[in-house]
Structure 1
């Protein structure tokens, strides 16, 4: 990964957290308080900077800016009004599906379609849901392509961002019950390893052409209802009080933003290289410097 790429990814992932915080504050100001950290998600927009990052990659690869449609974040100078229908495509098992980035070729057909997903907290409730969504969306899109509802032969990409914390890193699942023996790879897993495996198998089974799996940590504490350190400390204190033990030592409690990828096979470089190749096939001459400069993103 080049320094420019690293800086661009860092900026987009940090914005993921600030957008969540801003959205949660706005929801609370309106009196809409979701359980746990959902208010930062249900308000929307937390993945928009990542969509913008990938839109910039598309323009740098040769697509004209006017052929790239994405859910632009607030303050984006390239934000266009009334374009939602351009990143909303017909479906087979439902009427339509809105994607996060859609790039059109010179024939007006989608040549790139990207789906973005994230998971922060509530892992046990949402881990299986995310897998089901990814598989279902991929099957739905393929059937829409087969039926001619969506024209062309687009490159498809899947991005999964999961929070890096003590819970997502913890081993689990050793005691999961099932009617028959499970895949040995699930004998002991973490939520992060499940994301990596999901992305790898989605590509191996050709549900998507490429996937990017990334984990990132919060720059600040999420509060007593979400923070795994606070929750663990509360459990230890409660158990000690119940059994008459001395007050437990305070657990280290600090938060620092960072990010990492789970494997090269599902990394940003591999993902964007694959996407770039598809766009260059659609736009072999490139858009020229003017169009590339419109997004003004690193590498554009």
Structure 2
């Protein structure tokens, strides 16, 4: 009976994912589309839980639904603020055909009276058929699981995912941290920090919610970081949760929270990449190879990398959400 209920739940979850994704893509209202996108991220997190990948589910809920959804909402608010500012003092001038006003109106225009779903349905059937065909003819293989199990005793950790990410294929993880840092530098290159548009939110609900959620998020992030060596978790999941807590604070008090001083902020943002690369170079000099660890030092070195990466990821996510380099920073 329980297996049947799980199958029914999986089918309902699959239909919900497809339905929400379709409504999100087909919606002509920006706010509704963002809400549907957040809903899709939460449903996708449930799907990862059903696939027994709780660490990916945490990252999806924090980044895919939470941080990205909040970023889209703030972008929409910024766009509306730009439109209002441009309209102010220029009531009689026609809107710029290439400006934000025209873009906002275009995105909110009602859909055509007659629409056909045949092209979209044909495309979905073709892609779905190709995917089913590719999966159907997959050869039976055990993959790299036996190799990972054979070398777990020299990895420095007890969880195979952490061993793969930070020992057996540390190159990929290092490059992921580099890409996150490059994304922030790209955002900073567009200009200085501009305070988020804010609407008053009177009442005790928001402050009370923050007093409850932020400490829980911090404790959860620290636990996920600590548990990563022997259970699902690690730097990316912990950094995403701590970054989400920071974004909650920014959203609640967008005009009260000061930006961190430039030099400590830059050190925190670059800590993950810098320490990872430094430890990798030390490994190259003393024998194991680039981004390799001596077996006796593998565990403490991985912990150092995880802590630094968590700090960098959390700060980077908050800085990406705020957008723009710190005010007064011209370097």
Higher relative contact order (CA 8 A, sep 6+): 1
| TM-score bracket for this pair, using the shorter chain length | under 0.3
For normalisation by structure 1, the TM-score amounts to 0.25
Q: More strand by proportion, 1 or 2?
A: 1
Is the radius of gyration larger for structure 1 or structure 2?
2
